[in-house]
Amino acid sequence: MKKLAAVALCVALLSACAHQAPRNPMATWVPSPNFDERRPVVIVLHYTEQDSVEQSLHTLRTRNSGGPVSSHYLVGDDGAIYQLVADGHRAWHAGGGRWGTITDLNSASIGIEIDNNGREPFTEPQVQALLRLLEDLTGRLRIPPSHVIGHSDLAPSRKIDPGPLFPWRRLAEAGFGIWPADDAPPAPEGFDAMRALEQVGYDTTHREATIRAFRLRFRGDAGTVLDAEDLRILHALTLPDQVGLLVPASR
């Protein structure tokens, strides 16, 4: 009995140690209560570009053509939500890119894959499930609801997902991401569109790719030239404090 008790105690102690944060052996551990868990500040949406949830679950636990890949969540076309990586861990979903001043998106984001091959509309159960998941993540992890972006937004020269069929306006109407109001005024003469794109968060190093990413999100096409409507949208997106320029103006 004594042996069994000793073994149980050792197992308990090892288990407790396994859940503690790693400590630097060079330093004396003098713990402070003044800390918080590292938290993501952006949510990145993807489409899987595969034919089934089963295929995507396999890929996200193994690798694709570029190597090992993962995501925090996968949303099936039937509305089922799968979690593959803990919220506090760094999933491998974003790759190289930039959004605003953030250059390591994997370290700063939650990745959500959506079961869609890129050529078909997103299903109603899927959109409803995504909205529930966004409500949970933004509330629980204190991520600003406006900080919901697409993979193509952070990597315009490499990616096009979640694609032109993704319902960005509907997300904005539910309080996630950004969208211009229908009655937002035209951009003033001399409006600097490229600077506005940078203000929104885009990397403008590759001009045509950046414009394509912007139009995929706000116009639903892959155009690479900005027109007056694009300028109107950009002007609205860079004036978030003016009532009525964003939908919704607040949550």
Note whether residue 78 is domain-resident: yes
Tell whether the model's pLDDT for residue 5 goes beyond 80. no
For residues 15 and 129, which has the higher predicted lDDT (pLDDT)?
Answer: 129
The sheet that has 81-83: what strands, in order across it? 81-83, 73-75, 109-114, 42-47, 148-150
pLDDT band at 128 (very low <50, low <70, confident <90, very high): very high
What amino acid positions are annotated as catalytic residues? 113
Average pLDDT of the residues in 93-104: 96
Residue 42 has φ and ψ, to the nearest 5°, of -140, 150
Q: What pTM was computed for the model?
A: 0.87
Q: Which residue has the tokens 């069929």?
A: 165
**Domain of 235, in residue numbers:** 179-246
Note whether residue 240 is domain-resident: yes
Q: What pLDDT score was predicted for residue 7? A: 41
Q: pLDDT of 34-93, one tens digit each?
A: 777 778 999 999 999 999 999 999 999 999 888 899 999 999 999 999 999 999 999 999
Please indicate, yes or no, whether residues 183 and 155 belong to a single structural domain of this protein: no
Please indicate, yes or no, whether residues 184 and 68 belong to a single structural domain of this protein: no
Q: What pLDDT score was predicted for residue 29? A: 87
3-state secondary structure of 209: helix
CATH number of the structural domain spanning residue 154: 3.40.80.10
Tell whether the model's pLDDT for residue 110 goes beyond 60. yes
Please indicate, yes or no, whether residues 187 and 206 belong to a single structural domain of this protein: yes
Q: What pLDDT score was predicted for residue 38? A: 78
Chain CA centroid to CA 54, Å: 22
Q: How many domains would you assign to the chain? A: 2
Tell whether the model's pLDDT for residue 223 goes beyond 80. yes
Distance in Å from the first CA to the final CA of the chain: 60
Average pLDDT of the residues in 233-245: 69
Tell whether the model's pLDDT for residue 251 goes beyond 50. no
Boundary of a domain, candidates 124, 150, 173 = 173
Boundary of a domain, candidates 128, 153, 173 = 173
Q: pLDDT of 142-201, one tens digit each?
A: 999 999 999 999 999 999 999 999 999 999 999 999 999 889 999 999 999 999 999 999
Note whether residue 28 is domain-resident: no
DSSP 8-state code for residue 246: B
